[in-house]
Structure 1
Amino acid sequence: MNEFLDHIDWLFFAPFVLYFFFLAPMLICIYLYDQLNPQLLIKLNVDRSKVAHVAIGLYTVMYLLAWLIV
């Protein structure tokens, strides 16, 4: 029974950990870098929304991997 509760705790806790330590810093760095050097993303022909979608996709993959490992 205790293992089941540990697994449930991880399912509810993991998204917050991955968000605050993986996705949020990545999105903040992309946003700040774009504010400081807006020409780079234009030169690379990359839109900020595309970068955000990739970051969210990576977050989803990391969450699924963490869920499968634990």
Structure 2
Amino acid sequence: MYLKVLDAEFAVKRALNKVFREENGDVNIISTVILIGIAVVLAGVFKDKIKPLVEQMLDTITTKAKAQIQ
């Protein structure tokens, strides 16, 4: 009888470990999707300020790259 109780306890622990391991991946996916959503919203809100900054950075990169080529 005692062995059956231990077997049942072990089976429950294995099942719970399996559930927690599988759920961890789902949580990471949800976290990633939420962070991407926040980044998109922030980019939309600050679009007018981000665009000139990115253009200036790309111009600087282009200018320095052309200087290195010559």
TM-score with structure 1 setting the length: 0.47
TM-score with structure 2 setting the length: 0.47
Bigger share in helix:
2
Larger Rg: 2
